[in-house]
Structure 1
Amino acid sequence: MPLLLASSPSPALRLPLRARLKVLASAEVGASGRAGAGAGVGGGGFPAFLPREVERIRDGPAIHLAKRIERVPVQTGFSKSPIPSSCVRPLKQQQSGDPVVLLHGFDSSCLEWRYTYPLLEDAGLEAWAVDVLGWGFSNLETRPPGDVASKREHLYQFWRSYIRRPMVLVGPSLGAAVAIDFTVNYPEAVSKLIFLSASVYAEGTRDMSRVPKFVPYAGVSLLKSLPLRLFATLLAFHKIPGGPAGFFDWVQIGRLHCLLPWWEDATVDFMLNGGYNVLNQINQVKQKCLIIWGEEDGIISNKQAYRLHQELPDAVLRQIGQCGHIPHVEKPREVTKHVLDFLRTESERAEKAEKAKQGSSLPSTVGTL
């Protein structure tokens, strides 16, 4: 679930829903998953490295996108061997136009994009959905570090190995902080930025250097629990289609990556290292930005949309009515329209600027008779 929080949740969060969610919680089967790093196809045509619980998902777009997830090797300076890193690659890479790279929120995965990704692809964009190091479905058996610097380098090496062109970087919720941190450090890799319900004003996790390790592990264990995930899903969305069955399916999709054996270690490491704090980096972003926000966001007030709009040097703001914290899941068509309009406008502006530049550089043809 792409929560804005970068710290361990309070145990009190699960209390209000215990009675209401008892029936749904009883349907959970033990969280066992396939730990292997390998390629290949598992049951139901899914990649073999996904937890076997993926076979219980009923959401058609989630099933389709899950079957396209693959692992590609990414070599970093902090790992002796390449990290098998999970992503969804475009069916065809283009030679022109900026690729669109989709990140995800805190403690989530590329499956966030199950509804919007195919719309972007159908519109002709070269779209990548990339799992941030420490979350998603990468093979972290070697337990690479989960701090911000490592996440940043991993994304850069992924970009350097597979994309190699300036990209439109898309960050929802805490993914917006990931995108800002990356862009300020590697501005040459990013042409434009798109934020959705951006979590960029949190100051990371509190100092946990003296906290016994069992404390963050207890918090992380709660973060994975079905009652908390049910509660978080209720907070994150304005309306979920499909009734209780659809609601429970969305919860299962959102917590699928938590069933991998290294998820707890990676999340605790992220917490102990302080999380993201990009407050002083926002005004360093020079790229053109699009800000999208759900008007009914129950996790981050949309008042922060106006604050971010004012603080970014070059940004446009679009709000979506009757929409919660995760617009690309709840209102994929509206999000796609705003993205396409933004990219089209910027492309037309760039073309006009280039023509004006060429016109001003032409030698004068006026002579004296």
Structure 2
Amino acid sequence: MTLLTDSLIVDGVRLAYRDRGRGEPVIFIHGTPSHSYEWREVVPHVEAAGFRTVTYDLLGYGLSERPVDRDTSVAAQTDLLEHLLDALGVDQADIVAHDIGGAIGQRFAVAHPERVRRLMIIDSVSYDSWPSSTWRKIIDEKLDGFPSMTQDAFDALLTRQLRMTVADESLMTGDVLQAYLAPHRSALGRVSFFEHQVRHYDSKYTEEISDRLGRLTMPVRIVWGEGDQWQPLHYAQRLSDHIPGAELVVVPGAGHFLMEDAPERVVREINDFLTTPPR
């Protein structure tokens, strides 16, 4: 299923996006190694519940532009989110963010609290939680030598990683697995993956704002797969303790890609949260 249907020039770069529905705007920010495909079983249901849903591929990811000389770090993606909201005429939005998107959501909420009505973070990176041990090993062993990597070797590497994201590995096979691999099935795709994603796996982007999370005043819900192999549950508990009034929802039998293991539960949590009155 292709979720994104349009493109928009934002701050001089092209972002693939989808803007549908009416009502309060909800911005969905995906994680890594991923793109907006991860929201395919979620966004249409939130839209049907009466919300305006905006979904986009981060710069350098999925169907968005893969610039040669543009910063695609978490910090830069946070700045770009502000430009995207301006371009769409959105003054204030609810944000639903996963994984590295959660870092963008946290940074944006800290920097622009007046523009975030509610914040939901799903199996997010935080504090010093990332990169995970397997990604750290890949960074140490593969980052400098990736230009010589064959497509088969790359596919095998990424497949091993993707299968760690779900509690039920049978969910990360067939067409679903191919959809996650698809943006990288070329030399450009492989280069883009390492340069725009892996090279920016750096916890400094969350550590440098950690002392400001306690100032957040909007409703925050933290939703986590109990069996997340990349972002252990104790980080969710730490976030919950640190952010005033934050709710923590733990989903049993689910891993890091909660939208694959338990899409119906994610939809329920989002729709319930979006009806929570802002403070």
- The match for 2:266 among 335, 343, 346 is 335
Deviation string, structure 1 residues 164-212 (Cα, Å, up to 9, x no partner): 231111111121111111121122221110011121122767xxxxxxx
Unaligned stretches of 5+ residues in structure 2: 132-140
SS at match of 1:143: coil
- The match for 1:301 among 216, 232, 240 is 232
- The match for 1:285 among 216, 227, 243 is 216
Following superposition, the deviation at residue 162 of structure 1 comes to: 0.6
Code of the residue aligned with 1:233 in structure 2: it is: L
Aligned to 2:98: 172
Following superposition, the deviation at residue 258 of structure 1 comes to: 2.6
Alignment of 1:233 with 2:162, yes or no, is yes
Distance, in Å, in 2 between the alignment partners of 1:171 and 1:142 is 26
Following superposition, the deviation at residue 160 of structure 1 comes to: 0.7
Unaligned stretches of 5+ residues in structure 1: 1-62, 76-81, 206-213, 351-369
Distance, in Å, in 2 between the alignment partners of 1:291 and 1:231 is 27
TM-score normalised by structure 2 residue count: 0.83
* Structure with greater proportional strand content: 2
Alignment of 1:216 with 2:143, yes or no, is yes
How many residues are treated as equivalent by the alignment?
264
Q: CA RMSD in A?
A: 2.9
Alignment of 1:250 with 2:180, yes or no, is no
Distance, in Å, in 1 between the alignment partners of 2:150 and 2:75 is 26
Distance, in Å, in 1 between the alignment partners of 2:242 and 2:206 is 18
Aligned to 2:7: 71
Deviation string, structure 1 residues 233-276 (Cα, Å, up to 9, x no partner): 2211111556xxx6133222222223462614334663599655
Distance, in Å, in 1 between the alignment partners of 2:128 and 2:203 is 15
Residues 1:271 and 1:292: Cα distance change in structure 2 (over 3 Å): closer
Code of the residue aligned with 1:239 in structure 2: it is: D
Does the aligned pair in 1 maintain the 2:120–2:220 contact within 8 Å? yes
Does the aligned pair in 2 maintain the 1:143–1:265 contact within 8 Å? no
Code of the residue aligned with 1:216 in structure 2: it is: L
Residues 1:193 and 1:272: Cα distance change in structure 2 (over 3 Å): closer
TM-score normalised by structure 1 residue count: 0.64
Distance, in Å, in 2 between the alignment partners of 1:296 and 1:203 is 15
Q: Which has the larger radius of gyration?
A: 1
Distance, in Å, in 2 between the alignment partners of 1:204 and 1:222 is 26
Does the aligned pair in 2 maintain the 1:103–1:171 contact within 8 Å? yes
Alignment of 1:145 with 2:81, yes or no, is no
- The match for 1:201 among 127, 147, 160 is 127
Distance, in Å, in 2 between the alignment partners of 1:111 and 1:178 is 18
